[in-house]
């Protein structure tokens, strides 16, 4: 069953067509990848899904209902969460506080929010920090972490939020190459152990080939190809787009 269904979405900025007639499906419980050269409209599509701008035409469905007119926070409250390419964490708070603020507020009533965080909440926060390898840093001001560590923290915060679907915008961009394998491993575990559906935009072909079940490739705002990693790897259009775009 597909949990996100994008059908025939078009979006242009002024005269520039950023997406034209794009249709993709994100399968529940799987890992779906979205690749494409710079300027191919990946981030535009991503932002259309999470609600940062209206779309010109087409439809975006989440669990069968239309979300293309909803605001960012309404979409997030459905359990469709995103991370940012330029990470966004609360730099003034320490890591544990960042994790605690990420508790799934959407599942709480107002009265529940008027309670203090429980011991279990803190344990969960520390467990997830350990999962991403930040346990030793948990009491540090998160703004003092390196960019890669901040990215890991943002990932842990997203897991803390217990999303149904997690949309990741270039999770490995700016991360030290030696840490990338570890991150791929954690993403796969997040999918298999926590049952979170992943939808990943990635520039780095190697990363996405290693984990996604289905891959969509965009170029010049149009859907170029889709399929398993082998199919994509052998698709002449994709190869041309990647080699020809630069």
Partner 1 sequence: MDQIMGNIDLLIQFPIVNLKIILDGVMIGALFALAAYGLALVWGVMNVKNLAQGDFVIGGGYVSWWSYHNVPYFHPLLGVPVAFIVMWALGWLTYKLVISRVIERDLFTSLLATFGLAIMYAQLMNLMFGSDTQSLVLDVTGLGLENNYYFADGLIDLPAAKVIGVVLAAILATGVILFMKRSRMGQAIRATAQDARAARVLGIDTEKVYAFTFSLNSAICGAAGAIIVMVWVIQPFYGITYSIRAFVIVTAAGLGNLPGVIAAGLGIGAAEQYGSHIFGIGYQQAIAVILLLMVLIYRLVQQRRNRQVMQ
Partner 2 sequence: MKIQKIAFYGVLLAITVAAPFLFPSFSTQLATLWLFIIVSMTWDMTGGQMGYNSLGNIFFYGTGMYVAAVIAIGLVYDVGEYTGASGGGRYDFTNEQYILGFVLGSLGAGIFCAISAVILGYVLFGLRGPYFAIGTLGTAIAAGELVSNWDWVGGGQGITLPVYSGDFDQTKLFIYFAFAITGVILFIFLKWLYTTRFGAAINAIRDDEEKAEAMGIHTMRYKLVTWAMSAFFIGVVGGISAFQLISFEPLETAYQTINLGIFMVVCVLLGGKGTLWGPIIGAIMFQIFKEVTWNYFLGWQWVALGALIVVTVVYFQDGLMGWLRTQKPEWFGVVVDDKDGEAVR
> What's 69-123 look like in SS3?
CCCHHHHHHCCEEECCCCCCCCCCCEHHHHHHHCCCHHHCCHHHHCCCCCHHHHH
CA distance 37 to 242: 6
CA distance 212 to 209: 6
Q: Which of residues 14-33 bind partner 2 (CB under 8 A)?
A: none
> Of 1 and 114, which has the nearer Cβ to partner 2?
114
Q: Tell me if 52 contacts partner 1 by CB under 8 A.
A: yes
- 90: alpha, beta or left? (left if phi > 0; alpha if psi -120 to 50): beta
Tell me, residue by residue from 8 to 47, as one string, x for binding to partner 1 by CB under 8 A and - for no binding.
Answer: ----------------------------------------
The piece of 5-13, 48-56, 123-131, 167-175 that touches partner 1 (CB under 8 A) is 48-56
Report in angstroms how near the CB of residue 26 gets to partner 1 at its nearest: 21
**Binding residue count for partner 1, defined by CB under 8 A:** 6
CA distance 157 to 102: 6
CA distance 79 to 85: 19
Among 117, 204, 210, 229, binds partner 2 (CB under 8 A): 117
In the list partner 1, partner 2, none, the entry touching 54 (Cβ below 5 to 8 angstroms by class) is partner 1
Among 71, 146, 234, 237, binds partner 1 (CB under 8 A): 71
Among 14, 54, 64, 244, binds partner 1 (CB under 8 A): 54
Side by side, which strands form the sheet with 2-13? 16-27, 2-13, 57-62, 65-66
Residue environment code for 145-161, b if the CB has 16+ CB neighbours within 10 A, otherwise e: beebbbbbbbbbbbbbb
Tell me, residue by residue from 137 to 156, as one string, x for binding to partner 2 by CB under 8 A and - for no binding.
Answer: xxxxx--x------------
Among 115, 236, 243, 244, binds partner 2 (CB under 8 A): 115
Q: Which of residues 33-92 bind partner 2 (CB under 8 A)?
A: 50, 71-73, 76-77, 79, 81-82, 84, 88-92
Among 53, 88, 107, 206, binds partner 1 (CB under 8 A): 53
Q: Tell me if 231 contacts partner 2 by CB under 8 A.
A: no
CA distance 3 to 229: 20
Among 9, 22, 26, 100, binds partner 2 (CB under 8 A): 100
């Amino acid at each position: 069953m597909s949990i996100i269904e994008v059908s025939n979405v078009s979006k242009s900025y002024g005269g520039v067509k950023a997406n034209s007639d794009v249709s993709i499906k994100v399968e529940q419980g799987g890992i779906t990848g979205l690749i494409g050269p710079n300027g191919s409209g990946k981030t535009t599509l991503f932002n259309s899904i999470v609600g940062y701008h209206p779309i010109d035409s087409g439809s975006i469905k989440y669990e069968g209902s239309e979300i293309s007119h909803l605001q960012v926070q309404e979409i997030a409250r459905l359990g469709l969460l995103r991370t940012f390419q330029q990470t966004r964490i609360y730099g003034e708070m320490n890591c544990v506080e960042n994790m605690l603020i990420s508790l799934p507020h959407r599942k709480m009533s107002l009265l529940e929010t008027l309670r203090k965080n429980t011991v279990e909440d803190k344990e969960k926060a520390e467990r997830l920090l350990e999962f991403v390898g930040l346990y030793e840093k948990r009491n540090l001001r998160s703004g003092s972490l390196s960019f890669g560590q901040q990215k890991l923290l943002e990932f842990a915060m997203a897991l803390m939020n217990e999303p149904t679907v997690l949309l990741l915008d270039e999770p490995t961009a700016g991360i030290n190459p030696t840490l990338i394998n570890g991150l791929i491993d954690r993403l796969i575990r997040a999918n298999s152990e926590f049952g979170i559906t992943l939808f990943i935009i990635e520039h780095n072909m190697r990363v996405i080939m290693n984990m996604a079940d289905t891959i969509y490739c965009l170029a010049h705002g149009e859907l170029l190809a889709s399929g398993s990693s082998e199919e994509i790897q052998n698709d002449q259009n994709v190869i041309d787009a990647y080699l020809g775009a630069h």
